[in-house]
A and B are shown apart, each in its own frame.
Chain A
Amino acid sequence: MIQLYHVSKEYGRFRHALTEVTCRIERGEFVFLTGPSGAGKTTFLKLLFREEAPSAGQIVVNGRNIWVLPSSQVPYFRRTIGVVFQDFRLIARKTVFENIAFVQNVLGLPRAEQRRRAYQVLKRVGLHHQMNAHPQDLSGGEQQRVAIARAIVNEPALLLADEPTGNLDPVLSEEIMRLFADINVRGTTVLVATHDLELIRRMGKRVLTLERGRLREGAPPTPLIREAPFLPQG
């Protein structure tokens, strides 16, 4: 599903966000991407849905080399991917329903069908009673759940999530992870960037770790785990 070959990303001459990253994620896998803040997790995800261009290397997503994809095809490519952004990126002047049904609305899906799908997906994240609310009327956690609902409403082939539980309490985080696992069971490839190592440990899935822009397979070494505030020191 995802293949990166010697991918590097530099911001200016001296800031190397990613260096020589090569990896492969199979279709239907559930993978965690972890590492300390500034390790390049968000950049890694941005490259996968072509929000940013790599400085070097090739990226293949869902069988397509996305950097040779014509600009006119990018929107159609993005519709096959669900993305949960770290900062939610909800449209303030639209209601929760309108945010979730945006692509369906552009495509002309019947309104009743849009509402049915939005209701179902909101019910899965426990916000079906907030269909007509605006994002600014919701708490941070609720906004995050709306962002998750928007990402999964079109049943994407690939789900990318950047710190999806960052604003959620442990109980809700657990629920969201169960939701992702459920989506994964239905065939969607899931890649979650998080530094919540306890969550990673509980889920027991494959882990990729980024450290100073370099990728390696497996969970981070002990010192990084010690940095996590929710784990007992010692």
Chain B
Amino acid sequence: MGINSRYLFGEAWSIARSGARQTVMAVVLVALGLYVPGLIVLLSKNLGRLAAAGGDPPAAVVTLEATADSREIAGRIAADARVARVRIVSSAEALDRFRKAYPDLGGALAELKEAPFPPTLEIFVRPGSSSAAGQIAEAARRLPGVETAESEEGFDRRFREAVRLLRGAGLFLGGLLTIAAVLTVASAIRLALDLHRDEIEIMRLMGATEGAVRAPFWLYGAFEGLAGGACALGLLAATYVAATRLLARHPHPVLSIFWTSFLDWPAAAALPLAGTLAGFIGSVLSLGRKAKV
């Protein structure tokens, strides 16, 4: 026989109210537990976008003067047998790339009268010639119209490694703090069970099924987790808004990279969902041990 949803929600609410302080504490702890991995996901996503924006990375990048003939310089560099191809990235194309990578900041750049990015040449080397990137950049630096020429290989590798490390740390910390959230809800449920021990016994004597006894606690745990996850999301959004406002007033070339856009909706929805799941698992674990007849 099914359980009436009105009873289910009424009981869950009643359990939450009867231990209001424990409920609030559990929600706060779950929120903090999910906020930290959420923050790392947000930062690594923004950083990862920068790494992924270029696709297959060039071996060297040559920055040209605004008046330079990019086709001619590209032709001269491509004449080197070790070079596979040279890609010309105009100022407009560079701006377009930036807008795609950082939609929140692209609008602000559009208001500038001058092109914010100089034209560049991206040099891709033939397989087996990767170690030649430095020499190719050195040769390009001597060409007229070239402002700078840098080998990208070392930086790109280190950058991608840093992003990977940040993501790994986020996953590890996220896993650890999610376990902490599960244990937090489990202990809140244990306290609630202790508070309701007598009435659980009465409910059973009155003919309540195991489902009718346990389901309100499952729902209570899931809601605790959901509330914690929602609070973590709200806190993360508040942090993002505060950071972007601060960086708008005091721009910073490196910090801005971390705060260019908020989580997309699937990632944002993952926080309350993770909270709900953690809460549910916590309550199931707790009831599994404590609510036996």
Inter-chain contact B202/A76, CB cutoff 8 Å: no
How far is it, in angstroms, between the C-alpha of A144 and the C-alpha of B204 when the chains are bound? 19
Chain B 194-213 residues near chain A, CB threshold 8 A: 199, 201-210, 212
Inter-chain contact A102/B4, CB cutoff 8 Å: no
> Contacts A75-B208, A93-B14, A93-B18 known; A107 to B203 CB distance under 8 Å?
no
Inter-chain contact B6/A108, CB cutoff 8 Å: yes
How far is it, in angstroms, between the C-alpha of A106 and the C-alpha of B8 when the chains are bound? 8
Inter-chain contact B203/A83, CB cutoff 8 Å: no
**Minimum distance in angstroms from B13 CB to a CB of chain A:** 12
Inter-chain contact B207/A78, CB cutoff 8 Å: yes
**Minimum distance in angstroms from A159 CB to a CB of chain B:** 14
> Contacts A75-B207, A76-B207 known; A106 to B212 CB distance under 8 Å?
yes
Inter-chain contact A51/B205, CB cutoff 8 Å: yes
- Does A32 lie at the interface of the complex (its beta carbon under 8 Å from any beta carbon of B)? no
- Does A25 lie at the interface of the complex (its beta carbon under 8 Å from any beta carbon of B)? no
Q: Kindly report which residue of chain B lies nearest to residue A46, judged by CB atoms.
A: B205
Chain A 44-87 residues near chain B, CB threshold 8 A: 49, 51, 71-72, 75-79, 83, 85
- Does B7 lie at the interface of the complex (its beta carbon under 8 Å from any beta carbon of A)? yes
How far is it, in angstroms, between the C-alpha of A103 and the C-alpha of B5 when the chains are bound? 13
- Does B242 lie at the interface of the complex (its beta carbon under 8 Å from any beta carbon of A)? no
Chain A 19-54 residues near chain B, CB threshold 8 A: 49, 51
How far is it, in angstroms, between the C-alpha of A167 and the C-alpha of B210 when the chains are bound? 33
**In the complex, what residues of B have CB within 8 A of residue A103's CB?**
206-208
Inter-chain contact B18/A108, CB cutoff 8 Å: no
Interface residues of A, count at CB 8 A: 25
Partner pick for A106 among B199, B201, B205, B208, CB 8 A cutoff: B208
Chain B 28-48 residues near chain A, CB threshold 8 A: none
How far is it, in angstroms, between the C-alpha of A6 and the C-alpha of B199 when the chains are bound? 33
**Minimum distance in angstroms from B215 CB to a CB of chain A:** 10
Inter-chain contact A89/B207, CB cutoff 8 Å: no
**Minimum distance in angstroms from A144 CB to a CB of chain B:** 15
**In the complex, what residues of B have CB within 8 A of residue A94's CB?**
199
Q: Kindly report which residue of chain A lies nearest to residue B3, judged by CB atoms.
A: A106
Inter-chain contact B209/A75, CB cutoff 8 Å: yes
Inter-chain contact A91/B202, CB cutoff 8 Å: yes
Inter-chain contact B205/A93, CB cutoff 8 Å: no
Partner pick for B7 among A71, A91, A106, CB 8 A cutoff: A106
> Contacts A76-B207, A78-B207, A79-B207 known; A107 to B202 CB distance under 8 Å?
no
How far is it, in angstroms, between the C-alpha of A106 and the C-alpha of B10 when the chains are bound? 10
Chain A 120-178 residues near chain B, CB threshold 8 A: 150
**Minimum distance in angstroms from A46 CB to a CB of chain B:** 10
**In the complex, what residues of B have CB within 8 A of residue A71's CB?**
293
**Minimum distance in angstroms from A218 CB to a CB of chain B:** 31
**Minimum distance in angstroms from A209 CB to a CB of chain B:** 26
Partner pick for B199 among A75, A76, A93, A108, CB 8 A cutoff: A93
Inter-chain contact B4/A105, CB cutoff 8 Å: yes
> Contacts A91-B202, A93-B18 known; A108 to B2 CB distance under 8 Å?
yes
**In the complex, what residues of A have CB within 8 A of residue B199's CB?**
91-94
> Contacts A78-B207, A103-B207, A103-B208 known; A89 to B202 CB distance under 8 Å?
yes
Partner pick for B1 among A49, A51, A102, A107, CB 8 A cutoff: A107
How far is it, in angstroms, between the C-alpha of A79 and the C-alpha of B206 when the chains are bound? 7
Q: CB-CB contacts of A96-107 with B at 8 A, as 1s and 0s?
A: 000000110111
Q: Kindly report which residue of chain B lies nearest to residue A81, judged by CB atoms.
A: B207
How far is it, in angstroms, between the C-alpha of A49 and the C-alpha of B205 when the chains are bound? 8
Q: Kindly report which residue of chain B lies nearest to residue A101, judged by CB atoms.
A: B7
> Contacts A93-B14, A93-B18, A93-B199 known; A105 to B6 CB distance under 8 Å?
yes
How far is it, in angstroms, between the C-alpha of A75 and the C-alpha of B208 when the chains are bound? 6
Query: What would 9 more interface pairs be, CB under 8 Å, given A79-B207, A85-B205, A92-B199?
Result: A75-B207, A76-B209, A77-B207, A91-B203, A93-B199, A102-B203, A102-B208, A107-B4, A108-B4
Binding site for A on B (CB under 8 A): 1-7, 10, 14, 18, 199, 201-210, 212, 293
Q: Can you name 28 A-B residue pairings with CB atoms under 8 Å?
A: A75-B207, A75-B209, A75-B212, A76-B207, A77-B207, A78-B204, A78-B207, A79-B207, A83-B205, A85-B205, A89-B202, A91-B199, A92-B199, A93-B199, A102-B203, A103-B206, A103-B207, A105-B6, A106-B3, A106-B7, A106-B208, A106-B209, A106-B212, A108-B2, A108-B3, A108-B5, A111-B6, A150-B206
